[in-house]
Amino acid sequence: MDSSYPAFLLISVLLIMFLPFIPALHEWLRPSDVAPLQVRRNEINNLRYFADSFRLTIAGMPAINLQKLKNVQTERTVSISDKLHVVHQRLDGETATGYSRSTLQVLRKKNGIVIFVHDASLPADSHSQADLFAAADLRVGDGASLRACSAQGVITLGADTVVHRWIDAPSIHVGSNASIDGRITALREIRFSGGSRFVRAGAPTMRFGDSTATAAAAPQAPSPRKRYLLDDGAQQSAALNQDGDYVVRGPYRLRPGTSVFGNIKTYGDLHLGARTCIAGSLVSNKDIVLANGCSVLGPVISQNDIVIGPDCRIGTPDAATTMICRKLSIAAGCVVHGVITTQDGALMTPRETPYAS
């Protein structure tokens, strides 16, 4: 056998193994596309990005002029294309028949857009797979499910409704045990009912049940402030009034009625007693638990779970803030101003909660 055969075989195997990397090596040595991705920086963290894009799409359609469509005297559902439908039918409060069969069929079509020119009402237990746009108010019956929707008026979700992607309007009322699998946003206010669930939510004011007894907003902390470093032995706050920023290398518990004019960061669980006031932010590597009647001015951020007792207030109407955690449990009577972002979802619980101490 020729002695050069093993060397030829080795070179052939190496070439075959190296062959898939040639295009990547060529692109690395002589790049053909080094331009950045077309991402607008001001839209990266915009919770209403999908809703804003959807409204711009509707506004840019040559065949859609909402003001003119409202003046059209017809009760028909007009199909402008296979993916775009306009519903002119008016539903009175006493109407028992609801939408026509053709309208219900276009609502069930996937990847379509349905525009309601007047006040709209989705039947109970219906399933809408189109993206919905209501030029006025939108009512969703109990047990109904929808993909995504936007309205220029008030959206009212009935009990046990499901939103699979996103929902946006100036004001939204969420029924009991409703589930928003994606994001829910409002220009002014969102009202949640007991048992409702969501993943991300944002509005200047989010009310969870009856908020007549909600704690007053926390004041602004003075600046500059001292910084205190506490070791693992600092299990409980020493004074009811504390000034400064606190970093705790372990768990920390604030006694009921404590006021802290600064920020708190802990490496362990952070527990706030009833009627605690924090004029700053809360950050923890583990769980954060707020008892009833607490108020926090700044962000509340946990790498694990957050439990909010009844009648708590997060943020202020003039200073929106944010909450970030893995799972959130928030009791009735709470008010949050800003944005809530969770990994595994948020649940509104009844007023009675074991953490309200």
Residue-wise pLDDT for 253-296, tens only, equals 999 999 999 999 998 999 999 999 999 999 999 999 999 999 99
- Cα–Cα distance for residue pair 134/153, rounded to 1 Å: 8
Asked if residue 198 is part of any domain, the answer here is yes
Around Cβ 243, how many Cβ atoms within 10 Å? Answer: 15
| Residues 140, 242 within the same domain | no
Is the C-alpha dihedral spanning 36, 38, 41, 43 positive or negative?
Answer: negative
Q: Are residues 202 and 233 in the same domain?
A: no
Q: What is the pLDDT of residues 323-341, one digit of tens each?
A: 999 999 999 999 999 999 9
Higher pLDDT, 13 or 197: 197
CA dihedral 80, 84, 89, 92 (to 10 degrees): -170
In a domain, 216, yes or no: no
Burial class (CB in 10 A: 0-12, 13-18, 19+), 225: middle
DSSP letter for each residue of 97-153: S-S-HHHHHHHTSTT-EEEESS-EEEPTT-EEEEEEEESS-EEE-TT-EEEEEEESS
Give the range with max mean pLDDT: 29-33, 144-148, 237-241: 144-148
Distances from the Cα of 77 to the Cα of 73, 91, 120, 127, angstroms: 12, 13, 13, 18
The Cα–Cα gap between 308 and 198 comes to 15
Calpha distance 355→357 (Å, rounded) = 6
Q: Please report whether residue 126 resides in a domain.
A: yes
Q: How many CB atoms lie within 10 A of CB 8?
A: 10
The C-alpha atoms of residue 100 and residue 108 are separated, in whole angstroms, by: 13
d(CA 29, CA 286): 46
Q: In angstroms, rounded to a whole number, what is the distance separating the alpha carbons of residues 148 and 50? A: 10
Q: Which of 149, 173, 208 is the last residue of a domain?
A: 208
**Cα gap 305→283, rounded to integer Å:** 12
Cβ(186)–Cβ(167) under 8 Å? no
Which residue has tokens 């994001």? 183
Q: Alpha carbon of 258 to those of 241, 291, 294, 308, 343: distances in Å? A: 6, 12, 10, 17, 30
Q: Is the pLDDT of residue 188 over 90?
A: yes
- Looking from the CA of 166 toward its CB, the CA atoms found within 13 Å total 19
What are the structure tokens assigned to 98, written together? 């609801």
Count of domains for the chain: 2
Instruction: Indicate whether 127 belongs to any domain.
Output: yes
More confident position, 101 or 303: 303
Both 199 and 235 in a single domain?
Answer: no
Q: Mean of the pLDDT values across residues 152-164?
A: 95
Whether 95 maps to a domain, the answer reads yes
Q: H or E segment at 53?
A: helix 49-59
Task: Take residue 148 and report the two structure tokens written for it.
Answer: 């995504």
Residue 346, pLDDT score: 96
Residue 172 resides in a domain: yes
Inside any domain, residue 222: no
What token pair was written down for 191? 């009202």
Which of 147, 181, 208 delimits the end of a domain?
208
Token pair 């955690």 in the structure block, residue:
325
Helix (H) or strand (E) holding 93, with range, is none
| Two tokens, residue 56 | 């711009």
Q: Examine residue 304 and state whether it is found in any structural domain, yes or no.
A: yes
Conformational region of residue 129, where left means phi above 0, alpha means psi within -120 to 50, and beta covers everything else: alpha
Per-residue pLDDT at 59: 82
pTM for this prediction = 0.81
Q: Quick one: 74 and 185 in the same domain?
A: yes
- Are 264 and 137 part of one and the same domain? no
Nearby residues of 265 by Cβ (< 8 Å), 6 or more positions away: 245, 246, 247, 248, 283, 284
Contact 349, 332 (CB under 8 A): yes
pLDDT for residue 7: 78
Cα distance between residue 201 and residue 183, in whole Å: 6
Give the domain extent around 246: 227-349
What would the mean pLDDT of 20-24 be, rounded to a whole number? 81
